[in-house]
């Protein structure tokens, strides 16, 4: 598995797209810091970018990579290598190289700017951690889609749809249900509903770290009480991990059965 991971990773690190992705984040970080001059404001803006872009790029890139390396995969399958290690290797290769672009691209300008002297380092760390989690989650989901669908167009369509659902439509349904059931106590519901969607969960985890959480008022206090405790932190990490583990497990399950 490690060998395949290495091949995928080297392959990707020679790919133009990784560099584009890396330079995009580098540029974003530099521009934000030098236009804003305020670290915690920059973190908020970055959060907006990360919760939209990271999942999108994770899904698209994952699907694209899987379809593109299909011939290589078939070649590998002919060798005496375990199926699960082929796919895990490829998955980890993509996810790790995307995460590396994200961490380096954003980390470098922030370190140059003087992150370590600033109190915003923990906000920034939580930003990166949720960014990495989102990359792993959405790459895994993308691999799932690509494995289940031979048809590229269909696969791409589904991947975009999935992203659209989790990033946008889910919140719409969430909001609708909040407005519709406004006569009932909704704290627990909103807590659970926002934990179920990884994008919402990471958004809230970052928001609660920032000053802006005071804006959330009473509902925010409920959230803060929950996420502030060990149980809350554990649950949210557990939920994010579950979002990684389940799709990865499904990759193994499907790839074991699939007829190539």
Partner 1 sequence: MLRSFFLFLFLTLTSVVSQAQEIEVCKTCEVKTIQAAVDMAEDGDILRIKSETYKEHDISIIDKSLTIIGEGFPVIDAEMQGTAISIRAENFSIEGLKIINVGRSHTNDFTGILVSNSKNFEVKNNRLDQVFFGILLERSSEGTVSGNIITSNAKSQSTSGNGVHIWKSEEITVKNNEVIGLRDGIYLEFVNNSEIINNLCKDNLRYGLHFMFSDHDLYKGNIFENNGAGVAVMYSKFIDMQENQFRKNWGSASYGLLLKEINDSELRNNIFEDNTIAISADNTNRIDYIENDFRNNGYAIRIRGAVYDNNFKRNNFLYNSFDVAYTGRLNNNKFSNNYWSGYSGYDLNRDGIGDVPFRPVTLFSYLVNKTPEAIVLLRSTFIDLLDFSEKVSPIFTPADLIDAQPQMKKIQW
User: For binding to partner 1 (CB under 8 A), which residues are involved?
Assistant: 44, 47-48, 51-52, 167-172, 174-175, 178-179, 182, 186-187, 189-190, 194, 199-200, 203-204, 207, 211-212, 214-221, 223
Contact (CB, 8 A) for 113 and 30 = no
Long-range contacts of 76-79 (CB under 8 A, 24+ apart): 76/4, 77/260
User: In the bound complex, what is the minimum distance in angstroms from residue 233's beta carbon to partner 1?
Assistant: 18
> Which two three-digit tokens encode residue 198?
């990884």
| CB closer to partner 1 out of 35 and 169 | 169
CB of 196 to partner 1, least distance (A): 13
Nearer to partner 1, 11 or 200 (CB): 200
Under a CB-based contact definition with an 8 Å cutoff, are residues 25 and 19 in contact? no
Task: Output 35 or 111, the one with its CB closest to partner 1.
Answer: 35
Give the DSSP H/E element, type plus range, for residue 222: helix 217-228
In terms of C-beta density within 10 A (0-12 exposed, 13-18 middle, 19 or more buried), how is residue 175 classed? Answer: exposed
* Alpha carbon distance 143, 238 (integer Å): 21
Tokens of 70: 């299909």
Give min distance, CB of 232 to partner 1, in A.
15
Nearer CB in complex with partner 1: 171/246: 171
DSSP class of 115: S
**Cβ at position 163, least distance to partner 1 in Å:** 11
Token representation of residue 224:
């803060």
Q: How far is the CB of 105 from partner 1 (least distance, A)?
A: 21
Choice between 1 and 239, CB closer to partner 1:
239
Q: How far is the CB of 227 from partner 1 (least distance, A)?
A: 12
Instruction: Please report how close the Cβ of residue 128 comes to partner 1 at its closest, in angstroms.
Output: 18
Q: Which is nearer to partner 1, 115 or 212 (CB)?
A: 212
Residues in Cβ contact with 251 at an 8 Å cutoff, skipping those fewer than 6 apart: 87, 88, 91, 140, 143, 144, 147
Closest CB to partner 1 among 160 and 171?
A: 171
Pick from 76, 95, 94: nearest CA to 86: 76
CB 244 within 8 A of CB 250: no
């Amino acid at each position: 598995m490690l060998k395949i991971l290495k091949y995928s990773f080297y392959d990707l690190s020679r790919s133009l797209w990784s560099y584009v992705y890396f330079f995009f984040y580098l540029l974003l970080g530099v521009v934000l810091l030098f236009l804003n001059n305020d670290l915690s404001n920059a973190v908020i803006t970055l959060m907006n970018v990360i919760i939209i872009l990271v999942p999108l790029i994770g899904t698209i890139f994952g699907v694209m990579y899987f379809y593109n390396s299909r011939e290589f995969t078939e070649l590998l399958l002919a060798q005496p290598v375990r199926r699960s290690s082929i796919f895990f290797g490829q998955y980890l290769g993509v996810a790790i190289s995307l995460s590396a672009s994200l961490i380096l691209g954003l980390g470098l300008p922030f370190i140059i700017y003087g992150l370590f002297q600033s109190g915003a380092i923990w906000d920034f760390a939580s930003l990166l951690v949720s960014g990495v989690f989102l990359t792993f989650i959405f790459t895994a989901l993308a691999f799932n889609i690509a494995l289940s669908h031979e048809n590229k167009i269909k696969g791409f369509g589904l991947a975009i749809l999935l992203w659209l659902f989790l990033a946008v439509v889910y919140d719409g349904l969430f909001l609708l249900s909040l407005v519709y059931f406004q006569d009932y106590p909704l704290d627990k519901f909103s807590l659970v509903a926002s934990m179920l969607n990884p994008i919402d969960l990471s958004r809230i985890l970052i928001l609660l770290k920032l000053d802006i959480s005071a804006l959330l008022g009473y509902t925010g206090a409920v959230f803060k009480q929950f996420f502030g405790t060990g149980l809350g932190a554990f649950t949210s990490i557990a939920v994010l991990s579950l979002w990684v583990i389940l799709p990865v497990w499904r990759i193994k399950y499907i790839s074991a059965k699939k007829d190539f």
